[in-house]
Structure 1
Amino acid sequence: MTRRILLVIFLLVFATGCATIKGWFSSDKKKALEPAELVEIANPIRVDAAWSRNLGDGRARQGLRQRAAIDGERVFVSNDEGRVLALDLATGRTLWDSAAVEVTRSGSRLSFWKKGIRDGGLSGGPGLGNGMVVAGGRNGEVVALDADTGAERWRTRVTSEVLASPLVTAGGLIVVRSGDGRVFGLNGHDGSRKWVFDRGLPNLSVRGNGAPIEGGGLVYLGYDDGSIVALRALDGALAWEQLIAPPEGRNDLERLADVDGEMQLGLNELYAVSYHGMMMALASDSGRPLWNRDIGSYGGLTLLSDRLLVADPDGNVWALDRNSGAALWKQDALARRWLTTPAVQGDYVVVGDIEGYLHWLRLSDGTLAGRRRIERAPILGTPQVSASGVLVAVTAEGELIAFPQPQ
């Protein structure tokens, strides 16, 4: 786990061209690593926030891709203080606030963590379903709350930190993956363990895990070695496995092949992308490859009726034909800005970046349409959009903000 944390620090320092560390690079090399300068947008659309609120700081040090969860006109969020909140989507008003996990603070072991290190806290965003909100923590806690009241239904513990949002299936199963490679199938009524799937991890990987998804009686997961695994929801048995991108290279850093972002499930197809530079469409029942494309991402994919959207590690945003992977358009003006998985808000594609900006691109052709800075903190988690078109994003320092659909 220490190596995973250090990798995040390594990547963030290199991505931002940190000026406080002297002598590492020439000024030209530093500039080449810095986020691209933002160009002026001609006739930008108006993007006004409906409301915002602060959930508490401390997330940036953890490198977590925290995101909100939306159910109808309610927003559910967790914070670094171990709390889960339900908010009104239209106003941001608190509907309930539950102290799900107790958090203590120990003395700082590293000088640049000035505020000390928290023991405990909620690390993965909440999962929703069957009238429950399920959240996971850094100490392996899993807590299920009533979605209407915030009252605790049950709690249990898995073997390691929970970095991904738990999956709540229609059949009442709770699927939780822990940071040590294990996946747990829990009974939705009481949290008791039904099955566990155990898989090893490579020596070095990008911090984070993609959330499980389900369909057709199978649970799909992306792994740090560049593979996709399909498990039977009934008993956790392996149904099939497919390698998306082999971990190739001379050292652990070059061999990073994590499938950590959102996968997408169509009628009969599963779409996934690896950090190592490969995207693939698979038959969802067997894992048989349908097509592949040499595009990678440390985030994930967004699926529409005719296309896939993805932001690659270089900061290019792509729209691809979902049937063939052919490029429909590419936007390269956001280079080296460490973009989130794209979200779709009406006629626009929205991505967050490492400097706290949200960018609106036209869905039709990818041209830049609007921009808004939330704060000077990275946006790591995928922005979420409600059925009514309200977009909600969270920064790495816990600033939550909501934007109505641009007119």
Structure 2
Amino acid sequence: MRRLPLASRVAGALLLCGALASCSSISTLFGGSDKPMPAELQPNPASMAVRQAWSAKVGAVAFPLTVTPSGSQFTVAASDGTVAVIDGTTGRDVWRASAGARVIAGAGTDGSLVAVVTDDNMLVGMADGKVLWREKLSAQAYTAPFVAGKRVFVLAADRSVSAYDGQTGRRLWSQQRPGEPLVLRQGGVLLAVGDMLVTGQGGRMTGLNPNNGSVRWDAAIASPRGTNDVERLVDLVGPVSRLGTSVCARAFQAAVGCVDASRGSVVWTRPANGGVGVSGNEDLVVGAETDGRVVAWRRDNGERSWIHDKLQHRGLTAPLLVGNSVAIGDSFGFLHVLAREDGRLVNRLATDGSAIATAPVVVGNTMVVVTRNGGIFGFVPQ
């Protein structure tokens, strides 16, 4: 059998890694080394009481899903094109409909309009269970569309950022900057901070004018290094931790850092070898490294606060820091709850046995997780 050129094999492997969100490192894709054994689970102390309040179901999820809360509801999508708005208190559908094609990015919402991207490169706007419009994109997108101010913003795989009218889908503007040739098939950075649109383009966080796409500031969390395209891949990955104008994010396999979005200045960066985003509060920024260590950095200066090393090689999601706890999913369907102050395990919750698809989110008083098999679970503290 004829082998593909090296560049094609590398690109394919990177896309696969982003799609599965469980590759332990880029290096394991080449060289034939054995995959590390996942750490055995500790006894569950169950020292923090949490109960499963409800469960629901969508189709299988094989793309970089974003679960978007809005008030007491949240929006979720499945690979088969299903888009659902669900009540976070009961787990019941508010509405459910089809986007008309397989979904590869989503779902974004402002509480009224829902936007997803399908595998035929269509941006689809939906509301109240109906498709309102479809608009062709110039490139694939793996980051969930961001919906705000009656507009839909899209970060595409060619590193372009575009704005679309939320009522008609008409493109309003598009801005593109040069970057490295490889891109992750993984959710990137796209959010609002005040009157700015903040996005990740390569290893840089950029503040844009949402009215026309002009650049207001540009801050480097990591710079491409190395002698080949894989080593130079430093895309910012979501989710991020935003607190006021402080935005903290991860550059893939390179660094974690915080930016003051009011000035566009880097507050700190620290070397970090991870592939999923971060969460945080006023004191800490927390993320999972490629080897499964969970690390907490001080938000003010980036110094390490604690490390939890009992979940190594378990294919961790990005974490959720909420209240006194840090919740993080793994590729075996478990949700691990750690203490915020020192990272010790305080509870472990089971889902359906398939990998957790994305970082947990809080909807009202409920913590919601979604699995690759499409299981949706709502957990509440007791």
Check conservation: 1:67, 1:393, Cα contact below 8 A: no
1:279-315 deviation per Cα after TM superposition (whole angstroms, max 9, x unaligned): 2222313422222222243221213122222222222
* Equivalent position of 2:13 in the other structure: 6
* Equivalent position of 1:135 in the other structure: 116
* Equivalent position of 2:92 in the other structure: 93
Q: What letter is aligned with 1:133?
A: V
* Equivalent position to 1:54, from 52, 57, 78: 57
* Equivalent position to 1:36, from 36, 39, 42: 39
* Equivalent position of 1:113 in the other structure: none
Given the alignment of the two structures, is residue 164 of structure 1 paired with residue 143 of structure 2, yes or no? yes
The CA deviation at 1:345 is 4.1
> Does the residue aligned with 2:258 lie in a helix, a strand or coil?
strand
Instruction: Identify which range, 3-12 or 271-280, moves more after superposition.
Output: 3-12
Check conservation: 2:188, 2:235, Cα contact below 8 A: no
TM-score (norm 2): 0.88
The CA deviation at 1:3 is 5.3
Q: What letter is aligned with 1:50?
A: A
> Number of aligned pairs?
369
1: CA distance, partners of 2:223 / 2:134:
37
After TM superposition, the structure 1 = structure 2 runs for residues 5-404 of structure 1, keeping only pairs within 5 Å, are 5-9=12-16, 15=24, 24-25=32-33, 29-30=34-35, 33-57=36-60, 59-60=61-62, 64-101=63-100, 103=101, 121-129=102-110, 131-146=112-127, 149-169=128-148, 171-223=149-201, 225-388=202-365, 390-404=366-380
1:157-205 deviation per Cα after TM superposition (whole angstroms, max 9, x unaligned): 2122231121112x32211122222211112222211100113442333
1:358-403 deviation per Cα after TM superposition (whole angstroms, max 9, x unaligned): 1010112210011123233222311111132x11111223222111
Q: What letter is aligned with 2:221?
A: I
Check conservation: 1:221, 1:228, Cα contact below 8 A: yes
1:322-343 deviation per Cα after TM superposition (whole angstroms, max 9, x unaligned): 1111222221111122322211
1:225-280 deviation per Cα after TM superposition (whole angstroms, max 9, x unaligned): 32222211110012222222122223333333121122333333332221233122
The CA deviation at 1:350 is 0.4
Structure 1: gaps of 5 or more residues:
104-120
Q: What letter is aligned with 2:136?
A: R
Identify the structure with the greater strand proportion.
Answer: 2
TM-score (norm 1): 0.83
The CA deviation at 1:46 is 4.3
The CA deviation at 1:44 is 4.5
Q: What letter is aligned with 2:370?
A: V
2: CA distance, partners of 1:81 / 1:354:
21
Check conservation: 2:193, 2:245, Cα contact below 8 A: no
Q: What letter is aligned with 1:156?
A: E
Check conservation: 2:238, 2:277, Cα contact below 8 A: yes
1: CA distance, partners of 2:285 / 2:208:
24
2: CA distance, partners of 1:162 / 1:227:
18
* Equivalent position of 2:4 in the other structure: none
Check conservation: 1:36, 1:334, Cα contact below 8 A: yes
2: CA distance, partners of 1:92 / 1:42:
28
1:73-112 deviation per Cα after TM superposition (whole angstroms, max 9, x unaligned): 22321111212112222222222211222x3xxxxxxxxx
Check conservation: 2:135, 2:170, Cα contact below 8 A: yes
> Does the residue aligned with 2:123 lie in a helix, a strand or coil?
strand
The CA deviation at 1:351 is 0.4
Structure 2: gaps of 5 or more residues:
1-7
Check conservation: 2:198, 2:205, Cα contact below 8 A: yes
Q: What letter is aligned with 1:232?
A: N
Check conservation: 1:247, 1:276, Cα contact below 8 A: no
Q: What letter is aligned with 1:123?
A: I
RMSD: 2.5
2: CA distance, partners of 1:143 / 1:246:
34
1: CA distance, partners of 2:23 / 2:111:
42
Identity score, percent: 28
